[in-house]
Amino acid sequence: MTMDFTDRLTRVEPSATLAISALATELENEGADVVDLSVGEPDFPTPENIVEAGKAAMDAGHTGYTTSAGIIELREAISEKLADDGLDHGPEEIIVTPGAKQALYEIVQALVEDGDEVVLLDPAWVSYEAMVKMAGGDLTRVDLSETDFQLEPALDDLADAVSDETELLVVNSPSNPTGAVYSDAALEGVRDLAVEHDVTVISDEIYKEITYGVEQTSLGTLEGMADRTVTVNGFSKAYSMTGWRLGYFAGPEDLIDQAGKLHSHSVSSAANFVQHAGVEALENTDEAVEEMVAAFEERRDLVVDLLDDHGVDVAVPDGAFYMMLPVDDSEALRASDDASGDQPRADDQAWCEGALEDAHVATVPGSAFGTPGYARISYAASEERLEEGIERLAEEGYL
């Protein structure tokens, strides 16, 4: 029998970040020593106190369903965390989800329908595009690659992209895949446009806790933004809890009511004991988070220096654990162009495939984020592995 699949699914591709990571794992299973700089996942174990809290919650019998929006203790702890960031959301304005990805999915499903316009800042994390397409929305993309991935100098371009037709704008600062932290002036520019054109904004703040010497202002704190911002965050990155699947979103109550229907009919709730571990994460883990962030900063500096030694300049990221490596100019790409005899290609896909095959270094092509000509490096790996990875890329002619 041939099944007839829906347009909404056949028009999207699987997550490129997860696909490349799966490819790297496959190579490793075949015995290759792969330096995996592809998937965005902290390499630290989840802090011990959080693990213990999860175990204790299981032992205490927290293994049944919870209220769909999440246990009240966690929503209260999230409400306090958001208050520290200057955001005013009571527990009734918060939904706890199995990962921030599910939060984003529910928000997009609640707000976007066929033909609605959604504006993304490119390069943009892979799943935004897929989520919008699955909802039937149309994308308008603003390219930040000419401005070192900063938004402030590109506000005119954003102004050209946003109109009364725009339903939703997605802002992700610190950004995946660039690590850029948008300035307050940039966020004020977003605010002015959102207010002028009556646009809802998703502020994906999943890397908010991971910044180096700067702080990321929460968009929803700006005047005029409280009732049009949906703030998304989660536990995967700051607390190294990717596999626990825990995230949340906070926004105006009518959005929470609508998205809550999808939440209750799909996932029911996030896992019970995981939510209890989340309370511990928010209340007692500041020191471990600081240590992880300090390690990421050292690794960022190391990678920037090593690339500089090989004559490669990157836009130095102020947050998250990613950077965009320009790959158009690499010796390996030129060699593959010469061999093919075709027009020279600026093919980041070919670069990433070659780097994985020849150097056994996994990265993600910029085109997966809407910006060809780059490869995304996740430097959430040990210094030793980062050195090894860059050394191999250089040896094989990829730098």
- Nearest CB to ligand PMP, comparing residues 41 and 396: 41
Q: Is 176 in the site for ligand PMP (CB under 6 A)?
A: yes
Q: Is 234 in the site for ligand PMP (CB under 6 A)?
A: yes
Under 8 Å between Cβ of 263 and 97: yes
Residue with token string 């995996």: 36
Amino acid, single-letter form, for residue 102: Q
Under 8 Å between Cβ of 239 and 209: no
Output DSSP code: residue 145: G
Task: Assess whether the previous peptide bond of 252 is cis (omega < 30° from 0).
Answer: no
- Nearest CB to ligand PMP, comparing residues 21 and 367: 21
Question: Total residues at the site for ligand PMP (CB under 6 A)?
Answer: 13
Tell the smallest beta-carbon distance from residue 119 to ligand PMP (Å). Answer: 16
- What residues line the site for ligand GLU (CB under 6 A)? 15, 17-18, 39-40, 101, 125-127, 176
Dig out the tokens for 324 from the structure: 């965009």
Site string for ligand PMP, 26-65 (x = CB under 6 A): --------------x-------------------------
- Nearest CB to ligand GLU, comparing residues 275 and 378: 378
| Whole-angstrom distance, CA of residue 225 vs CA of residue 228 | 5
Which residues touch 273 (CB under 8 Å, ≥6 apart)? Answer: 54, 57, 58, 62, 63
Q: Is 172 in the site for ligand PMP (CB under 6 A)?
A: yes
Tell the smallest beta-carbon distance from residue 16 to ligand PMP (Å). Answer: 12
Partner interacting with residue 228 (select from ligand GLU, ligand PMP, none; CB below 5-8 Å by kind): none
Q: Is 123 in the site for ligand PMP (CB under 6 A)?
A: no
Amino acid, single-letter form, for residue 286: D
| Whole-angstrom distance, CA of residue 344 vs CA of residue 391 | 26
Each residue of 262-298: b (16+ CB within 10 Å) or e?
bbeeebebbbbbbbbbbbbbbeebeebbeebbebbbe
Please pick, from the candidates 101, 263, 276, 299, the single residue that binds ligand PMP as defined by CB under 6 A: 101
Stretch that binds ligand PMP, among 97-105, 162-170, 361-369, 387-395 (CB under 6 A): 97-105
